[in-house]
Structures are given as structure tokens and as C-alpha cells.
Structure 1
Amino acid sequence: MTLLQKRRIALGSLFFIAGLCFASWASRIPDIQVKFNLSEAQLGTLLLGLPIGSLVALPLAGWAVHRFGSRKVILASAAGYMTFLPLIGFSDSIFMLIPVIVIFGMIGNMMNISLNTQALALEDSYGRSILASFHGLWSLAGFTGAGIGAGMIYFNILPRIHYLFIAFIVASTILSAKSFLINESKAGGGGGLVLRKPDDLLLRIGLIAFLGMLAEGCMFDWSGVFFKKVVEIEPGLVALGYVSFMGAMASGRFLTDRIINKIGRIKMLQFSGALIFVGLLLSVLLPLPVTATIGFLMVGFGVAAIIPIAYSTAGRSKLYSPGVALAMVSTISFFGFLLGPPLIGYIAELFELKVSFTLVAITGLGIAILSSVRLEVFK
């Protein structure tokens, strides 16, 4: 096994534990709600701590990666995950839990930016696209974390013990992987806190990522509702839409690199946007179990490539260092992930859910258009 292959496996394992930590926390949210006797509204308020922490970390992450290098930030944030995940389980009051969750959200985004910066450095060494496969491992970890969580719940194991078990996996992975991480040289371009206007490239790719994340966030939160209320599928199959979308997105990320290396990033973005647009229109116009499932599979494959391509393109900015460029694009796209799900609800309240999903379909058309006009921006 070559050194490059060892580096890729090591970095992939760190992407996996990042997804595992997040999924492990999410799998026990119902237990957290019961433990603190929270209403749905109170739980929703508590869950805001995660995106708030993520948002706070975005400008800091680019600066930290530029200042200290992605390797140090990866190891520090992984150690933070190892520490703060169990602290969620050991929190005995809501006043302790809230800051822990905010910091947990900050750690997640610090790790996100630093892992992707490291992946870009490794991608340069390979000389071909490999970033999407790392995102595929993050998605795969989501399924694994949910499965472990379901097992822990089945055997009545407390969240704190569950989280300590995950922390042990994180610690073991850090020790195995740290010697293979790249000590990348400080990149050219601007560093500093990400509180400035992006250039044309970052603005364009940020808007594409915004639309992709808006569609992704809507599919995460509303797939089950769509299948229940629009497709009117039998109760036992309500989760089919979500599983179809998630499965296609996860598997699509393992195929994306191979396709990109054959047809290029721009054509892949155009194809992805078309898949999102056609898949959602098919589901809206023919809301039958078979056609809606096919449509959601198309959307999952379409969404799979958007963020890996956006990050890979942003990391090659000539004006900013990779960490800062990634943080800028993440900041823009993050608002899509936050705004999308509530927007669906508001539009559905005024009209109906079919109208909401039709508007989400237009995001795919927007991605295709933005990746087809003024292509000189991407050069």
C-alpha cells in the first residue's frame, strides 16, 4: 500500500467518525427530550443550538485552518468531539446542556472545514477528483450511527454510555490516523476571519451550493411528510421517500468522483441540477409510490455531487487560501440548509405541499443554469 493510499484511508476514517458523532447525537434526541421533559417547541429551541454553534464557527474555521494548518485543526476538533459528545449525555440540567450543544455545533463545523481542506490537499496529490468519496463516507457513517443508536435504545443503554463508546472509537481513530495527515504548507491567498466579500468564483459556487443545500435540507425534513400527505402511502412505508433519497445520495457520492473524472465538474453540476429538477417534478406530477420513489432517488443522486464539487472548486480560489475559501462557501450554503425546511412549511401553509416541492425543483434548474452561463468565472 502506497503512502497516498494510507493517507486516503486515514482521512476517510476521520470523515467517518465526524459523521458517526453527529448521527450518534441525533439518534438519541428523543431520549434527551424525555430526560429533560421538553415539549416539541422547547426541543426545537434546544436544537437551534447546533446551527447557532455552526454559524459562529464558520468565520473562525477558515482563519484557524489558514493560521495553524488543517492537520492541527482536525486533531483538535476530533478531540473536541470525543469530549463534548459524552458531555451531552452527562449534562444534568438544561442550562449545562445548551452551551454544550452550541460548542458541539462549533466543533462540527471546525472539523468540516479542516477535513475538506485536508482532502483538497490530498486530491492535489492524486491529480484527480476524490473529494466526493469522503463525503460518501460521512453519509455512510450516518447510517452506521443510526444503527448503533437503535441498538443502544433497544438494549436500554443510557446515552452517556452510548456516547462514551463512540468517544472510544474516535480516540482510537485519532491515534491510528494522525501520523498520516498532511502537514500542508501555508497556501497563498488571503487568510484572516471570513467577514469579507467573496470573489466572482466563490460567489457563483456559493450560490450553487446554497441551492443544493436548500434542496438537501428540504429532502431531509420533508420527505416523510410528502410521502404521507401527497403520495398517501400506507403508514408502514412512509419512510420510503427518506430512505430512497438518503440511500441514493450516499451511494451517489461514491460514484461521483469517477463520473467527474470522465466528464468534468461543470457538466456534472449541470447533470445534477437536471436530476433534481426532473426528479422532483416527476414526484409532484405523478405522486404514486413507484414514480415518487424513482423521483426521490433521482434527487438523491443529483444532490450527491453538489457540495463535493462546490468545495473542490472553492478550494482552488486564487484570491483566498483553501480554508478561508471553503468557509466562505460554507457560510453561503449553510443559509440554504437553514432556510429551506421552514420555507417549505410556510409555502405549504399558504398553498399546498406540492407547490413547495415544485419550488424546490426550481433550485435544480437554478443549479443547471448557474453552471451553464459565463463559464469563464470557473477558470
Structure 2
Amino acid sequence: MTNIQKSRIGIGAVFFSYGLCFASWAARIPSIQQSLQLSESALGIVLFALPIGSLLSLPISGFLVAKIGSKKVVIFSSLIYTLALLGIGFSESLLVLVPVLFLFGLVGNMINISINTQAVGLEAIYKRNILATFHGMWSLAGFAGAGIGAYMIAESITPKYHYMVVYAIALPILLFSYRFLLNEDAKTEGAQPMFAWPEKSLLVLGLIAFCSMMSEGAMFDWSGVYLKKVVKVDQDWVGLGYTAFMVTMAGTRLLADKLTHHLGMKTMLQLSGAFTAVGLLLIVVFPIFIPTMIGLLIVGMGVSSVIPLVYSLAGKSKQLSPGIALASVSTFGFLGFLLGPPLIGLIAGASSLRVSFILLTFLGLTIAYFSKRF
């Protein structure tokens, strides 16, 4: 096995651990809401700690990657991230949970920027698009985390012990992967800022990424709550909605490259937006277990391919280097991913969860509409 192949495995392993930790947090949000007796509005406010931490980390992350390299940032941020997950499980009050979630968001965005910088560097070496593979690893980890979460809920295991198990899985994977990360990041011509305001075409890509990842984030954080509060399923079935979403998301993402080759990027993006809208509409119109599960499967298919396609298009920017263009667009997407869940909570508190999910359908339509530009 060559060093480049080892690097691909190492980077993929970090994506997997990152996804596993985030999915484990998302799978237990209903449990944490119940244990702390939080309303939808209160939960929405608490969830704002994540995007606030992420927003504040943007300039810090760019500076650190530029100053000491993405490898070192990946190592220390991922180690802190796993510890922050443990902290969430041990939080018994809002005074503890909110700052820990803030830290979780802070270092989570550091991982996002630094490990994608690693992926961009390796893609430059391969001279072909491989980003979808890494995001597929994140999705597979999300599926695994959802499955573990569903089991923990069914067995009435508290988040504290659940997260201890996840920590015991993620830490060895991370320690294994670090030796294979790239020592140097991809070089660009001339001095360029770590974050650049993108030109018009990249702004459109950023909008598409924002809408898709806002829908994705809403499914991560609110699908379980929706099944419990609106569909009114038994507690043991709450985690199945998130699992269904992740099954089709991971499966479709792994097939995305072949589908795009046959259909083209424009058609693939339009279909992705349409599937997202249709799936969400089905969930809202028929708040019954089977139609809701089918809707979650369709939404998973819809959001699966958008981010890899957007990143691939961003990498073809003629005004910015691939790495800088990717960082600019991914920031929009990541903000949508983090801002979506708390906004859903606030809307649900003012009206209902069904109304908030209706608004999400317009995000899918927005993706389909703006994809016509490509």
C-alpha cells in the first residue's frame, strides 16, 4: 500500500470519527430534552450554542490552519471534540450543557475546516475528485451512530454511558489515523486569504449548500422529536427515523459519482432539490409512521449528493484556488447545518413542528431552482 493510499485511509478515518460523534449527539437530543425538561423553544435556544461556537471559530480555524498546518489542527481539535461529547453526556443542567455545546461547536468547525483542507490536498495529488468518498464516510458514521443511538434508547441507557462507549470507539480510530495525515497542505499561487468572499457563481453554490445542509441538520436534530411529538410513536421507535434518513443518505452518496456521470451535475442537483422537497412534504401531509418513514428515506436521497457536487463545482473556480473556493462555500453550508436546528425549534415553539417542516420544503425547491444555473 502506497503512502497516498494510507493518507486516504487516515483522512477517511477522521471523517468517520467526526461523523460518529456528531450523530451520537444528534441521536440523543430527545433524551436530553426530556431529562432536562426542555420545551421546543427552550431546546431551540440551547441548540444556538453550537452555531455560536462555530461562528467564533471561523477566523481562529483559518488562522491556525495557515499558521501551523491542517494536520496539527485536525489532531488537537478532534481530541477535544470527543471529550466535549463526553461532557454533553455528563451535563445535568443548562449551566453545564450550554458551554459544553459551545465548545462542541467551536472545535467541530475546526475539524470541518482542517480535515477538508487535508482532503483538498489529497485530491490535488490524485488529480481527480475524491471528496464524495470522504463525505460518504461521514454519512456511514452517521448511520452507525444512529444505529447505536437507537439501541441505547431502546435499552434505556443514559447519554452519559452511551457517549462513553462512543468515546471508546472513536479515540482508537483517531489515534490510528493521525500518522497517515498529510504533513503539508496543498500549495496555491500567490498569497491568498484563508477565507475569501466568493464571486457570484460561488455565492449561488453557497446558497445551495446552505439550503441543503439546513435541511440535513434539521433531520439530524429534529427527526426523532418529530416522530415522538407529532407522529407519537413509542419511545423505542424514536431513533428509527434518523436511521432511515441516514441509510438512504449514505447509500446514495456512495453511488453519487456514477449517477452524476450518467445524468450530469445540473440534473443531479435539480433531482436532489426535488427529492428533498417531496420527502419533507410527505412527512408534513401524512404524519403517520409509514408515510413519515418513507418521507425521511426520500429526504436522505435528496440531500445526499448536494454537498459533494457543490464542492466539486467550487473546486473548478477560475478566480480562487480550489482550496480557498471550497473553504468559502463549505462555510455557507456548515452555517446552514448549524443554524437550521435552532431555527426549527424557535419556529416550532411559535407555531408547531409541522409548520416548521413545511418551511423546510421551500429549501428543497430553492436548490432545484438555483441548480438551473449550472
Instruction: Identify the TM-score tier after normalising by the shorter chain.
Output: 0.7 to 0.9
Kindly state the Cα deviation for residue 53 of structure 1 after the two structures are TM-superposed: 0.9
Do residues 18 (structure 1) and 18 (structure 2) align?
yes
Determine if contact 2:274/2:368 at 8 Å carries over to the other structure. Answer: yes
Do residues 188 (structure 1) and 189 (structure 2) align?
yes
Where does 1:110-121 land on structure 2 (aligned, <5 Å)? 110-121=110-121
Kindly state the Cα deviation for residue 204 of structure 1 after the two structures are TM-superposed: 1.2
Kindly state the Cα deviation for residue 33 of structure 1 after the two structures are TM-superposed: 6.8
Kindly state the Cα deviation for residue 29 of structure 1 after the two structures are TM-superposed: 5.6
Kindly state the Cα deviation for residue 336 of structure 1 after the two structures are TM-superposed: 3.1
Q: Which AA in structure 2 matches 1:10?
A: G
Q: What TM-score comes out, normalization by structure 2 length?
A: 0.79
Where does 1:1-379 land on structure 2 (aligned, <5 Å)? 1-26=1-26, 39-40=38-39, 45-88=45-88, 98-148=98-148, 154=155, 159=160, 163=163, 166-182=166-182, 183-188=184-189, 191-192=192-193, 194=195, 197-223=197-223, 235=234, 241-281=241-281, 292-322=292-322, 324-341=324-341, 357-373=357-373, 375=374
Q: What TM-score comes out, normalization by structure 1 length?
A: 0.78
Q: Unpaired segments of 5 or more residues in structure 2?
A: none
Kindly state the Cα deviation for residue 265 of structure 1 after the two structures are TM-superposed: 3.1
Structure-2 change in CA distance of 1:34 and 1:346 (3 Å): closer
Q: Which moved more, 1:286-295 or 1:358-367?
A: 286-295
Kindly state the Cα deviation for residue 155 of structure 1 after the two structures are TM-superposed: 8.4
Determine if contact 1:190/1:319 at 8 Å carries over to the other structure. Answer: no
Structure-2 change in CA distance of 1:263 and 1:237 (3 Å): same
Q: Which AA in structure 2 matches 1:313?
A: L
Determine if contact 2:210/2:335 at 8 Å carries over to the other structure. Answer: yes
Helix, strand or coil for the counterpart of 1:187? Answer: coil
Distance (whole Å) between structure 2 residues aligned to residue 280 and residue 111 of structure 1: 30
Distance (whole Å) between structure 2 residues aligned to residue 97 and residue 202 of structure 1: 36
Determine if contact 2:274/2:302 at 8 Å carries over to the other structure. Answer: yes
Identity %: 51
Q: Which AA in structure 2 matches 1:254?
A: L
Distance (whole Å) between structure 2 residues aligned to residue 132 and residue 191 of structure 1: 26
Distance (whole Å) between structure 2 residues aligned to residue 57 and residue 84 of structure 1: 15
Determine if contact 2:344/2:353 at 8 Å carries over to the other structure. Answer: yes
Kindly state the Cα deviation for residue 301 of structure 1 after the two structures are TM-superposed: 0.7
Helix, strand or coil for the counterpart of 2:272? Answer: helix
Distance (whole Å) between structure 1 residues aligned to residue 84 and residue 357 of structure 2: 37
Q: Which moved more, 1:121-130 or 1:145-154?
A: 145-154
Q: Which AA in structure 2 matches 1:52?
A: I
Determine if contact 1:113/1:326 at 8 Å carries over to the other structure. Answer: no
Kindly state the Cα deviation for residue 249 of structure 1 after the two structures are TM-superposed: 1.3
Structure-2 change in CA distance of 1:152 and 1:122 (3 Å): same
Work out which of the two has the higher radius of gyration on C-alpha atoms and give 1 or 2: 1
Distance (whole Å) between structure 2 residues aligned to residue 304 and residue 158 of structure 1: 28
Q: Which AA in structure 2 matches 1:299?
A: V
Instruction: Say what the alpha-carbon RMSD is for the aligned residues.
Output: 3.9
Kindly state the Cα deviation for residue 169 of structure 1 after the two structures are TM-superposed: 4.0
Helix, strand or coil for the counterpart of 2:185? Answer: coil
Determine if contact 1:61/1:323 at 8 Å carries over to the other structure. Answer: no
Q: Which AA in structure 2 matches 1:75?
A: I
Structure-2 change in CA distance of 1:64 and 1:39 (3 Å): same
Q: Which AA in structure 1 matches 2:187?
A: K
Helix, strand or coil for the counterpart of 2:305? Answer: helix
Helix, strand or coil for the counterpart of 2:363? Answer: helix
Helix, strand or coil for the counterpart of 2:202? Answer: helix
